[in-house]
Amino acid sequence: MEIPDIYGKFDRIGCLTFATVDNGIPQTRIAHLFAFDHEGLYFRTMITKPFYEQLKKTGKVSVCGMFPETSVSHDEQGMPRFKPGYTIRATGDVREISFGVLKEKAASNEMFMLGVKDTEKYPAMTTFCLFRAWGEVYDFDYEMEQRPHKLQRTGFCFGDMRIPFRGVRITDACTGCGKCLERCSFKAIYKDGQRYVIDHGRCDVCGDCYKICPVGAVEIVIEEIQS
């Protein structure tokens, strides 16, 4: 996925959760992205807000949102139900953009004009660019109304960031008993010859295979940078 597609997914949602860290304590607020270009994704805040202070101090942000519905309904058994949709998140590095640079961008890209007008109206406003990030689109259809599996996860990155792998993996200790394949309700496990393999695009990292494997052949990977 390229920056315009990533922006499009966020823009459809509108109001997003922006997370920062303040002296080791996580903090969130609702804001939105207002523009993109080849350098990254853009959002605004005021220099008087704690959000600004945290962005300047850490240079980091994490953004996420959900489409099309954020409410949860329940079935007769009280189990949660979600309308098919997607969540998207991106985590990475930010830099502040001067008003001069914002005006230069607005001269050739109408999208940035909103930022210029808003900053003229509210002089304490400033713009940040998320210029280096990795993230994921988590497309869900838990009741399998529109396709035969629940999940489709698509990773993305831009800047010189790479996508880390975090999840579960079947190791060479696998004896081929097939219990995990039978158990996986996400249809994320398949057989490749004699080997059992996890399709990470479909895997929810729910842990069922990890718990059911009789020989401990499913390993948890905390983080591994992919090439």
Least distance between ligand SF4 and beta carbon 111 (Å): 38
Of 173, 175, 164, nearest to 219 by C-alpha is 173
Q: With binding defined as CB under 6 A, does residue 217 bind ligand SF4? A: yes
Q: With binding defined as CB under 6 A, does residue 209 bind ligand SF4? A: yes
Residue by residue, DSSP assigns 165-188 as: EEEEEE-TT-----HHHHH-TT--
Q: With binding defined as CB under 6 A, does residue 14 bind ligand SF4? A: no
The strand pairing partners of 65, in sequence order, are: 88
Restricted to residues 62-121, the positions that interact with ligand SF4 (CB under 6 A) are: none
Least distance between ligand SF4 and beta carbon 12 (Å): 26
Asked if 36 and 42 touch (Cβ cutoff 8 Å), the reply is yes
Least distance between ligand SF4 and beta carbon 169 (Å): 9
From candidates 144, 215, 221, 225, binder to ligand SF4 by CB under 6 A:
215
From candidates 112, 174, 219, 226, binder to ligand SF4 by CB under 6 A:
174
Q: With binding defined as CB under 6 A, does residue 178 bind ligand SF4? A: yes
Q: With binding defined as CB under 6 A, does residue 180 bind ligand SF4? A: yes
* Structure-block tokens of residue 70: 């954020």
Ramachandran angles phi, psi of 167, nearest 5°: 170, -150
Q: With binding defined as CB under 6 A, does residue 184 bind ligand SF4? A: yes
Give the C-alpha separation, 165 to 44, whole Å. Answer: 31
Least distance between ligand SF4 and beta carbon 223 (Å): 16
From candidates 207, 220, 224, 225, binder to ligand SF4 by CB under 6 A:
207
* Structure-block tokens of residue 91: 């985590």
From candidates 50, 123, 176, 201, binder to ligand SF4 by CB under 6 A:
176
Least distance between ligand SF4 and beta carbon 148 (Å): 15
From candidates 83, 103, 149, 179, binder to ligand SF4 by CB under 6 A:
179
Give the C-alpha separation, 200 to 214, whole Å. Answer: 21
Of 33, 30, 49, 50, nearest to 41 by C-alpha is 33
Residue by residue, DSSP assigns 80-129 as: EE--SEEEEEEEEEEEEE-HHHHHHHHHH-GGGHHHHHHHHHSTTEEEEE
Instruction: Please report, as ranges, the residues that interact with ligand SF4 according to CB under 6 A.
Output: 168, 170, 174-180, 183-184, 186, 188-189, 196, 198, 203-209, 212-213, 215, 217-218
